[in-house]
Amino acid sequence: MSDIPPDETPSDLALVQASQGGDLEAFNQLVMIHQSAISSVLFRFSSQTADLEDLVQETFIRAWRGLGTWRPDKPFAHWLKRIAVRVGLEFFRKHKRSPMSCLASDGHDRLTALSVESLTPASDEAAQILSHLPPDQRSLLTLLQLEEMPLAEIAGHLGISLANAKIKAFRARRTLRKILTSHGYSTTF
């Protein structure tokens, strides 16, 4: 991945305008600037590299199609992150239970065995526990607890009010507590 010297970096606005004119190279630069941040957010939705690649790609494709809807009075990164969260939420809706989920109904799980093979064992384990939540609650807690995103920002990305986000977070924590208890995890949060 080549790096652009900081003082020669064109602004997001200039790159977006050039991209809107069909300049694929300008869009390429936008992707290069933002793909790391977008990968970090979407990594919370899937730590599996193949899925993560698809999610990041889908985010940028939607961004490319919707460049005209970005308003320059707000940061491009924020707009892009919003798309990424939507893509992540849709991913959760499609995969209501993680395909890797191994939490058995009898309370024992085979996660430990799997985690040895994984490069991101804690992320996998946390994601698999969260996968027992409904998609909306799962997205909210993923962003809140794994990404440590402020609730107001989450509300903005999910297109809900802050009050609504607080209620959803409360319900999600309550459901999570039950799941954790049933699987023998300590629930001190």
The token pair at 103 is 């939490």
DSSP code of residue 147 = S
Q: Could you report how far apart the first and last alpha carbons of the chain are, in Å?
A: 40
Helices 49-65 and 76-94: angle between axes, nearest 10 degrees = 130
Smallest gap, in angstroms, from Cβ of residue 22 to another protein? 8
Smallest gap, in angstroms, from Cβ of residue 183 to another protein? 8
Q: Which is nearer to another protein, 1 or 163 (CB)?
A: 1
The token pair at 181 is 């208890």
Q: Does 3 bind another protein (CB under 8 A)?
A: no
Candidates 10-18, 88-96, 115-123, 153-161; binding stretch for another protein (CB under 8 A): 115-123
Contact call for residues 78 and 37 (beta carbons, < 8 A): no
Contact call for residues 76 and 64 (beta carbons, < 8 A): no
Q: Which residues form the interface with another protein (CB under 8 A)?
A: 1, 24, 27-28, 31-32, 35-36, 39-40, 42-43, 47, 49, 52-53, 56-57, 60-61, 64, 108, 112, 119-120, 122-123, 125-126, 129, 145-146, 148, 176, 180, 183-189
